[in-house]
C-alpha cells in the first residue's frame, strides 16, 4: 500500500470518528472528545519529548503525562465543575513544578543545559498542552456541534485539497518554502481557496451559522484558519528538520507521527476560536 493511499484512508477513517464523537456523544460537556484530547496531548507530548531528546535536551518522562492536565482543566471549565480559571492555574502550576524540578536536577551537569531544558519544558506546556485546549473551548459555544464540525472541515479540507492541488499543479512551483521543499504554491493556494469555499457553503447551509456569521466573516474565518493551519504544518517541519528526522513518530499510517497529523489543528484552533469569538 502506497503512502498516498494510506494517507487518504487515514483521513477517511479519522473524519467519521471525529464526527461520531462530536455529533453522537456531546454528553457531559463533550466528555468523549475531551478524553481524546487528553490522550492526544500525552501522545503528542511524548513525540515532542522525543524530538528534544534527539537534540540532546533530555527531559523527565513525567513531563509527558503532567501536560495531559491541561485538557482536563479545560473540560472542568467547560462543564463549570469549578468556578475557577483552571487552565491558567494548571499552566502556572506546571511551569512552577517543571522549573522547580530543574533547580534540583540541573546539578547533574552543573546547570550547563538548564536554559535549554527549561525552554523545552515551557514549550511542551504550550505545544501541545495549551493549544489543544482551544479545540475544547469550541464545545462551550452556542451551536458547539456545528462549530466543531466546521473547524475540522476547514482543517481537513485545507490539508486534503492542498495535497490534491500540489500533486496536480504543483510540480513546477515547489521549493518556495525551504523548510518543506515538497510543498508547492499550487498546494497552498488550492488548499486555502478550497477551505474558503467549504467554509462558506457550510456556513450558509448548515445549522444557524448563517444568522450570525456573514459571508465576508465566513471567508475571513476560513482564510485565517487555513493560513494558520499551513503555518502549523510548516513549523512542525522545522522541528523535524532541526533534529534531522522525516516524521515525528510512526503512530499514523501514511503520515508518520501524531504531530504530523495534528500540527495544523494545534495552530489553527486558537485562530479559529479567537476570530469566531470576535465575530
Q: Confirm if 265 and 155 have CB atoms less than 8 A apart.
A: yes
Looking at residue 80, its pLDDT comes to 83
Spatial separation of the C-alpha atoms in residues 69 and 247, rounded to whole Å? 26
- Residue of 149, 132, 124 lying closest to 269 (CA atoms): 132
Spatial separation of the C-alpha atoms in residues 210 and 220, rounded to whole Å? 14
Confirm whether pTM is higher than 0.85.
yes
pLDDT exceeds cutoff 80 at 8: no
Spatial separation of the C-alpha atoms in residues 233 and 258, rounded to whole Å? 12
Looking at residue 1, its pLDDT comes to 47
Domain ranges of the chain: 3-278
Spatial separation of the C-alpha atoms in residues 193 and 68, rounded to whole Å? 35
**By three-state DSSP, how is residue 252 classified?**
strand
Please tell me the least confidently modeled range out of 187-191, 221-225, 242-246, 265-269: 242-246
Please tell me the least confidently modeled range out of 92-96, 164-168, 215-219: 164-168
Looking at residue 198, its pLDDT comes to 96
Please tell me the least confidently modeled range out of 96-100, 126-130, 152-156, 165-169: 165-169
**Alpha-helix residue ranges (DSSP H) falling in the chain:** 3-24, 27-54, 62-66, 69-78, 86-105, 114-124, 131-137, 144-169, 185-205, 215-242, 259-278
Q: Which grid coordinates are listed for 224?
A: 485565517
Q: Which grid coordinates are listed for 129?
A: 498542552
Terminal alpha carbon distance of the chain: 44
Q: What percent of the chain has pLDDT over 70?
A: 94
Spatial separation of the C-alpha atoms in residues 236 and 85, rounded to whole Å? 29
8-state DSSP, 142 = T
Confidence of residue 11 (pLDDT cuts 50, 70, 90): low
pLDDT in tens, 76-129: 999 987 778 999 999 999 999 999 999 998 999 999 999 999 999 999 999 999
Amino acid at each position: 500500500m502506497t503512502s498516498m493511499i494510506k494517507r487518504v484512508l487515514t483521513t477517511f477513517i479519522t473524519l467519521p470518528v471525529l464526527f461520531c464523537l462530536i455529533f453522537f456523544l456531546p454528553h457531559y460537556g463533550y466528555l468523549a472528545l475531551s478524553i481524546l484530547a487528553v490522550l492526544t496531548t500525552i501522545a503528542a507530548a511524548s513525540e515532542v519529548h522525543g524530538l528534544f531528546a534527539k537534540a540532546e535536551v533530555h527531559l523527565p518522562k513525567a513531563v509527558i503525562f503532567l501536560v495531559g492536565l491541561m485538557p482536563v482543566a479545560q473540560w472542568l471549565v467547560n462543564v463549570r465543575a469549578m468556578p475557577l480559571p483552571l487552565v491558567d492555574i494548571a499552566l502556572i502550576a506546571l511551569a512552577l513544578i517543571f522549573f522547580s524540578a530543574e533547580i534540583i536536577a540541573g546539578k547533574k551537569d552543573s546547570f550547563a543545559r538548564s536554559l535549554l531544558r527549561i525552554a523545552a519544558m515551557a514549550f511542551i506546556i504550550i505545544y501541545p498542552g495549551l493549544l489543544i485546549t482551544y479545540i475544547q473551548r469550541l464545545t462551550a459555544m452556542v451551536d458547539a456541534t456545528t462549530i466543531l464540525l466546521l473547524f475540522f472541515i476547514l482543517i481537513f479540507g485545507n490539508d486534503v485539497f492542498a495535497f490534491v492541488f500540489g500533486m496536480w499543479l504543483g510540480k513546477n512551483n515547489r521549493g518556495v518554502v525551504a523548510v518543506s521543499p515538497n510543498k508547492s504554491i499550487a498546494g497552498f493556494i488550492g488548499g486555502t481557496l478550497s477551505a474558503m469555499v467549504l467554509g462558506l457553503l457550510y456556513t450558509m447551509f448548515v445549522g444557524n451559522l448563517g444568522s450570525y456569521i456573514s459571508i465576508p466573516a465566513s471567508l475571513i474565518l476560513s482564510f485565517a484558519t487555513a493560513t494558520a493551519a499551513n503555518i502549523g504544518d510548516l513549523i512542525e517541519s522545522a522541528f523535524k528538520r532541526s533534529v534531522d528526522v522525516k516524521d515525528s513518530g510512526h503512530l499514523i499510517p501514511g503520515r508518520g507521527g501524531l504531530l504530523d497529523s495534528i500540527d495544523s489543528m494545534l495552530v489553527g484552533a486558537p485562530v479559529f476560536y479567537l476570530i469566531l469569538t470576535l465575530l
